[in-house]
A and B are shown apart, each in its own frame.
Chain A
Amino acid sequence: MIIANDTAIQVLSAALKTGGDFAEIYAEDKRSSSLYMVDNALETAVSGRSHGVGIRVFKGVNSVYVYTNDSSLQGLLECANQAAAAIEGNEALGIDIVLKHNVIKTVHPILIPPHGVELNKKVDIVKRAYGAASNYDPVIKQTSVNYADSTTNVQIINSEGLNAEDERVLTRIAISAVASNGMENQTGYESPGAKMGFEFYRDKINVEDYAKEAGRTAVTMLKASPCPAGKMVAAIENGFGGVIFHEACGHSLEATSVARGQSVFCGKMGQKIASDVLTAIDDATIPNAWGSSNIDDEGNPGQKNVLIENGILKSYLVDKLNGRRMDAEPTGSGRRQSYAFAPTSRMSNTYIAPGSSTRDEIISSIDEGIYCAKMGGGSVNPITGEFNFVVSEGYMIKGGKIKEPVRGASLIGKGHEVLFDIDMVGDNLDYAQGMCGSISGSVPTNVGQPIIRVGKILVGGKK
């Protein structure tokens, strides 16, 4: 689906006819395929094509967004007219639209496009994963595997002349294993993914390893006792542990919150907001990473943004509209789930940069505390900074040693406080994949960190 230049100019002009000062067309065509295996049988296979166009018009800091599935010229003009009608004004500003052709060089090469892969090969991957998880241990009573790939073609055209196209290919497999003793169930879950094609399973991961890992977590947690409650020292392992920064700080640095004065980090640029050992980065340019993109959903190249350097706030994540509100340049962070959402500032691959401590140094420094081997999801209220997240595999630490597994734990706190409590940062940086929800929908993001130590944090538990 390519929108021709003359069509685009006609549509943008219609969108601007009541005095808008900026108009944008976002066209999207997405082919997806998914498979689901459970109860020893492939149960569901769905594939298809979603298709739509969103038109956005700004007048100053006011924004109008209209979308449709009808990408014919008539459909687009109807959309543009509706958008224009919602702008207060009568007369076009007379903006002369001269479209360029922005050449996007991909930094995320796709070797095996998934929509060309025979379904049977995808089935093989699913069955390999299923077998490895379900055979891990006799107490694994149920396993499920969810395979998904998608190929999304987008075209973004705006009244400043930008005309860019991009193809985004995502590949992911989610493996869940349930261990049960008849009275209680515990789950282990792994969900590796990348901005890659089918080569992901050949070059990047061995699905059996992840499947066994899901099995191991489930079996371990079935033997775990309830986690004690209270303030503790915590060691949070690398990979998905990075969800702590994502929730405790990342969301509150998004211009979505900052521009409207709704973040605890408003007005803190250049100030110390974290301990000296903390440097945090949002990097959309990591080749083939889950949260990467050649261009964001406003057509700007993805960037590497240092958010916090040695505890000092260096940058917010800024989209075009909020950039106007806060007089800041966009940082390549305008993202959306699909054409059904107007873009706003979002994270891409966000991580705490490696520090100088080893994993052993961090664990052995803790006399009594909790070791969070695996984290689950979380959330934050950027206005108050209050965050929470789930510990999906935890252990007690006693005398500098990792001891018995504990379950049912969560960590809560206030983002602007916990950043000062991160007092050791390890050297084993790793990433993990997640779907992040906010007002522009659900987008793929990587979280990441090396193992870190938090001097004190409230652990919610049962005892």
Chain B
Amino acid sequence: MLDINKYIDKLMNEAQKAGLNECEAYYTDGDSFRVMVNQGQVGEYKVNTSCGLSFRAKIDGQIGYSYTQAFDDAAIEMLIHQVKENAGILETKDEQFIFKGSSKYSELNTYIKKLDEATPEQKIKLALELEQKCLDADEHIKSVAYCIVQSGTSQSCIKNSSGLDLSFRSNGAVAFVMPVAVDGDKSYSGGYAINIEDFDHVDTERLVNTAVERALSQFGGQPVESGVYDVVFDYEAAGELLETFCTIFSAESAQKGYSLLAGKEGEKIASDIVNIIDDPLHPKGPDSAPFDAEGVATYTKNVVENGVLNTLLHNLKTANKANAESTGNASKGSYNSPVGISPSNFYIKPMNNSVDNLLSTLKNGLMITDLAGLHAVDTVSADFSLSAKGFVIKDGKKEKALEQVTISGNFYEFLKSIVMIGDDLEYGKIQTSSVASPSILVKNINVAGL
């Protein structure tokens, strides 16, 4: 068995010998489990252990990167050689950093020991139970397109020539079902996922009932007339929109001219009621960690406060360029990605309004619960035109299902059009993704339909 710490030490030693005085190893490893059942049987079953090592060095002010998943002496030679070669061609004028370390890191323990004690049999049993419960929930449910239980543990470590030596381990588990309801010759699917903290206590009722209700509630869906509507976006649709466009809060995007928030710190960018928080230390946040991808200590901050932009999200490079401090938002898409910027647990702060409250305030309009096409959106213009589903709201109540319409707008304008914010945000219970929002009421959305 490979001792990764020894391997990294050897790599750092060899790097020093090769004249790389400022260098850093970033290592991740993890294991995951996933079972998908279909018609009472285990259809697909997947387990893995995986690891990867990324190496970077600052040479004449430029940082070159290399990575490997093979851990032998040849790889050490390759890493050092490629880092030198890659750094040698770079030309950026922005100062970059191999970080010495923050003075203090928050205590954070999101690791749930009990999760790792659950057996594969337990997870398979849960998946089979979920599928059966979906099928039993209503006569219209004819199949379950996806019924998945998955769990995983991951660890990331940073070690560098300035003495930084950090590691953090976390784990998690999720169950996802997508029942298919058939109404005549039409099929409707409803997907829903929940976090699992303890395989002995899974809220299967909530998972199954929500997913089944989502499929059934679409029966008879029709478009509405094209026009301008006030719209309640449920927490998933609102969260997905924020996730799609959260890159506009990156200082990197702003400095490169990809975000129109450049230089807008201290200015109003959203309606007064909007507060957006980046919360890397949330005990139940899906993306919680005490340090970022450069080893900078993370902390919780109001990115938008009462509609005013407080700060963009920085790493060391963008902060230095902007004469600011890093906000601890350096990130890597995967172990082998270069350092970039992303939010951690990032959300619109909930307010004290139930969804029913939002709907009765809306009175007449639309409720959007499902958006498609988000991955194809151009975040630079921030224009969007998305396929949407949901409900027609009449007198504050769901009147009928809505489908085959598009909603369009621009995200910068969207932030200014939020007039009411719901209370349905709770990591670990309602939200499973790190960028999230409660349900919101938004004025004047362009809808294309009939």
Contact = CB atoms under 8 A, between A and B. Distances in A.
A413 B408 contact: no
Contact of B257 (A82, A141, A376, A437): A141
A49 B87 contact: no
Contacts of B75: 49
Interface stretch (A99-107, A163-171, A379-387): A379-387
Interface string A32-59: 0001101101111111111110000000
Contact of A42 (B92, B187, B403, B406): B92
Contacts of B407: 460
Nearest to A57: B45
Contact of B448 (A48, A144, A460): A460
A123 interface: yes
Interface string B21-51: 0000000000000000010011111111111
A184 B258 CA distance: 10
A462 B409 contact: yes
Nearest to A463: B446
A67 interface: yes
B92 A41 contact: yes
Contacts of A389: 373, 376
Interface string B256-269: 11101000000000
A390 B373 contact: yes
Nearest to B86: A45
B381 A260 contact: no
A383 B188 CA distance: 7
B17 interface: no
A9 B438 CA distance: 55
A429 interface: no
A260 B120 contact: no
A229 B372 contact: no
Given A185-B381, A384-B188, A389-B376, A142 B257 contact: yes
A407 interface: yes
Interface stretch (B6-14, B60-68, B422-430): B60-68
Nearest to B37: A62
B82 A47 contact: yes
Nearest to B410: A408
Nearest to B81: A47
Contacts of B155: none
Contact of A50 (B2, B52, B78, B409): B52
Contacts of B447: 229
B356 interface: no
A43 B90 contact: yes
Nearest to A36: B338
A123 B87 CA distance: 12
A378 interface: yes
A51 B70 contact: yes
Interface residues of A, number: 81
B90 A460 contact: no
A458 B256 contact: no
A414 to B, nearest CB: 7
Nearest to A62: B42
Nearest to A375: B376
Interface string B180-218: 100000111100000000000000000000000000000
B116 interface: no
Interface stretch (B299-307, B347-355, B382-390): B382-390
A68 interface: yes
Contacts of A463: 446
Nearest to B373: A388
A408 B45 contact: no
A187 interface: yes
A230 B376 contact: no
A461 B446 contact: yes
B375 interface: yes
A409 B377 CA distance: 11
Given A49-B75, A142-B258, A260-B143, A386 B378 contact: no
A461 B256 CA distance: 28
B145 interface: yes
A49 B76 CA distance: 12
Nearest to B88: A119
A45 B64 contact: yes
Given A68-B49, A381-B372, A119 B188 contact: no
A191 interface: no
Given A66-B48, A260-B145, A142 B385 contact: no
A161 to B, nearest CB: 25
Contacts of B406: 229, 388, 410, 412, 458, 460-461
A414 B92 CA distance: 47
A51 B68 contact: yes
B449 interface: yes
B336 interface: yes
Contact of A187 (B70, B89, B376, B380): B380
Nearest to A390: B376
B387 A412 contact: yes
A63 B43 contact: yes
Contacts of A62: 41-43, 45
A378 B376 contact: yes
A458 B448 contact: yes
A62 B375 CA distance: 32
A25 to B, nearest CB: 15
A61 interface: yes
A383 B187 contact: yes
Contacts of B337: 46
A119 B93 CA distance: 20
Nearest to A381: B189
Contact of A458 (B187, B257, B404): B404
Contacts of A183: 260
A417 to B, nearest CB: 10
A48 B380 contact: no
Given A49-B69, A340-B48, A460-B386, A38 B381 contact: no
B97 to A, nearest CB: 15
A443 interface: no
B408 A379 contact: no
B5 interface: no
A408 B373 contact: no
Interface string A361-396: 000000000000000111101011011111010000
Nearest to B448: A229
Nearest to A410: B385
A264 B180 CA distance: 12
A45 B404 contact: no
B165 interface: no
Given A342-B46, A460-B385, A460-B407, A44 B90 contact: yes
Nearest to A377: B376
Q: Which 8 A-B pairs have the closest CB atoms?
A: A460-B406, A229-B448, A377-B376, A48-B67, A45-B86, A388-B387, A410-B385, A388-B373
9 contacts: A36-B338, A45-B90, A86-B120, A184-B260, A185-B258, A229-B448, A230-B448, A377-B376, A388-B387
Interface of B: 2, 38, 41-52, 54, 64-70, 75, 78-79, 82, 85-93, 120, 143, 145, 180, 186-189, 223, 226, 256-258, 260, 336-338, 372-373, 375-378, 380-387, 403-410, 446-450
Given A187-B378, A386-B372, A410-B408, 8 more contacts: A48-B54, A52-B69, A62-B43, A63-B45, A65-B45, A70-B49, A142-B256, A187-B381
